[in-house]
Amino acid sequence: MIRDGDDDGGPDHDRRAMLLAAGIGAGLGAGLTATAFASPAGAAPRKTNAAAGPISAYGIDGGTLGLTPGSPLDQTQLFQRALDRAAAAGSPLALPPGVYRVGGLRLPDGTRLVAAPGSVRLELTEGASLLSAANSARIALDGLVLDGQGKPLPDDRGLLHCENVERLAVTDCDVVGAGATGIHALACGGEILACRFTDTADVAIVTRNARHMVIARNTIAGAGNAGIQVLRWEAGEDGTLVADNHLTRIRNRDGGTGQFGNAINIFRANGVIVRGNRVHDCAFSGVRGNSASNLQIVGNTVTKVGETALYSEFSFEASIVSGNIVDGAQTGVAIANFADGGRIAVVQGNILRNLAPGTVNPDPEFPLGVGIGIEADSTAVGNVIERATAIGIGVGWGRYVRDVALTGNVVRDSGIGIGVTVADGAGPVLISGNLISGSRIGAIVGLDHKVPVTGDLSADNTARFSHLAIIGNKTDRRAPP
C-alpha cells in the first residue's frame, strides 16, 4: 500500500515516488500532461535510452513512446512497441491515466506494467487474449483495469493468459467483463494478490500445473462457472495457497453434477491449502477437492451454497477439514468415494448449521440434509452440527466404510443423529463420547445406504454388528425448545 507520511525511504516510499514520477500518483495535478515525466526532488537525473526513450530512476513514461490515453483508435501496435522497449531496457512501463484500446498484446520477459490503482483501463478490441505471456522468468502487472468488454474468448484462454512464467505477479488489478476466464495461468509460479474480478463469464482464476502459487486477498463478485480453479492434467504436487479471498455469486452456467458451480475447486492438485476464505451464494460447493491429496480446508466461512459446502472426494489420500463455519447447504462436509480410493481425513472443530435439501439435486440416490458424511480411515472429532434435516453424521455407504472414529461431537435437532452403515462387509467404526440431542428418528441408527434398517442403536444391544463399537454417548430424543 502507499501510505501518506511514510518517508522512511522503504519500499512504500519507493513505490509512491515511482508512481508520482510517472505522472500517475495520488497527487496528480490538473495541469499535468499525459506525457509529463518529472523525477522527484533528489532523484537520479533522467537518462535516455536510444531504443526506449527517456528513462528516470523509476521507469519509462508510456506517453513519451506515443501512447495516448483516451484515444478512440486501437493502440495495439504502439503499446506493443512500448512494452518491448521497456522490457529491453530493464525498466517498468508506467502509463498515464486513461483508457487504452488494445488487444492481443504479448508481454515480453521482464515486463513490469504499473499504474496508480484504477487509473489505467485496457479495453479489449480483438484477439485471443487482452494480454499474454509465455516462457518468461518474470512478469509483473500492478494497478491496472483489464476490461474484456464481454467479448468471447477461445476455449482455455484468459483475458490475461500466461504459460510457463516462473514468477508471475498480478497485484491490485481489476478484471472486469471477461468473456471467458479472467486469469489463466498454465505452469506458472508467483502470486495473484488483492485483485478484483467482476462478472466473469466462465472462471475468474484458473491455474494448471502450478508451481506453488499464492492466490490471496482477491474479491470475486460474479462468475459463470467457478471462482478459483487449481487444476492439474495429472495428479501431482502443486502446493498452491488459496487464502483470504472473498467470493460471491458463483453460478453453474455449463451444468453437470459438480464439475462447475464451485467457488474454489481443487482437481488433482496435491499439497494445496485453502484457508480463511469467505464464500457466499454459489451454485454447488464452497470448496471442492477432487482427487486432491494432502489437502487442507481450514478456517473458511461458507454460507448459502446449493450443494455440499466442503468436499473431499474421489481418489485422494489425506485431507484436513478444520475450523470452518457452514451455514446453509445441502451437506456440510463430505469425505467421499472410498470405492474410488478416497481415504484418510480429519474433520475437526467445524460448526455446520441449517443443512437441508435445496433446488440442486445432482444425484437423488444420496440423502440431502447431512452435516458430515465420512467413509474411510478417518475421524470426526469436536464438531457441532445443528439442524441437519436428514442425518447429523453419516458413516459409510453400503459396505464402503473402514476405520472411522466419531468422538466428542455435538449433534442437535437432526432427523437421525448419527447414521452408520450396517451392510455386509462394512469395516470397523467407533462411536464414542458424542452428545446427540433432539433427533426425531433416532440418536444412532443403522443404515443400508440411506435407508434406516434398525432401531436406535444407542439403547440397543449392538452385538449383532461386530464392526460397531458404540460407547459412552449421551443421547436425548426430546424435541429442542
Structurally, how many domains does the chain consist of? Answer: 1
Q: Is residue 365 part of a domain?
A: yes
Question: Cα–Cα–Cα angle for 35, 37, 43, nearest 5°?
Answer: 175
Considering the domain boundaries, does residue 419 fall inside one? yes
Q: What does the pLDDT look like over 245-297, one tens digit per residue?
A: 999 999 999 999 889 999 999 999 999 999 999 999 999 999 999 999 999 99
Question: Cα(364)–Cα(436) distance, rounded to whole angstroms?
Answer: 27
171's grid cell: 497485484
pLDDT tier at 5 (50, 70, 90 boundaries)? very low
Judge whether 99 lies within some domain.
no
| pLDDT at 25 > cutoff 50 | no
Q: What is the pTM assigned to this prediction?
A: 0.88
Averaged pLDDT, 411-439:
97
Model confidence at 51: pLDDT above 60: no
CA–CA separation, 440 and 417 (whole Å): 8
**Do the bridges between strand 442-448 and strand 451-456 make them parallel or antiparallel, or are there none, so unpaired?**
antiparallel
pLDDT at 463: 75
Identify the residue whose cell numbers are 486432491. 292
Whole-number pLDDT of residue 20: 37
Block residue for cell numbers 519507493: 14
pLDDT at 313 over 60: yes
- Maximum separation of any 2 CA atoms in the chain, in Å: 90
User: Quick one: pLDDT at residue 33?
Assistant: 31
Residue 166 vs residues 89, 114, 135, 190: alpha-carbon distances, Å = 20, 19, 8, 7
| Any domain includes 362 | yes
- Tell me if 49 is assigned to some domain: no
Determine contact, residues 18/39, Cβ cutoff 8 Å. no
155 domain-assigned:
no
Residue 282 belongs to a domain: no
Helix, strand, coil distribution of the chain in percent, nearest 5:
5, 50, 45
User: Strand locations in 382-415, DSSP E?
Assistant: 384-388, 391-395, 402-407, 410-412
Q: Is 265 a member of any domain?
A: no
* pLDDT one-digit tens code per residue, 55-84: 554 589 999 999 999 999 999 999 999 999
Which range of residues forms the domain containing residue 394?
306-481
Q: Output the nine-digit C-alpha cell for 25.
A: 500518483
Average pLDDT, the chain: 89
C-alpha 282/C-alpha 287 separation (Å) is: 10
Angle 319-197-256 from CA coordinates, rounded to 5°: 55
Q: Is the separation of the CB atoms in 265 and 229 below 8 Å?
A: yes
Q: What is the pLDDT of residue 308?
A: 96
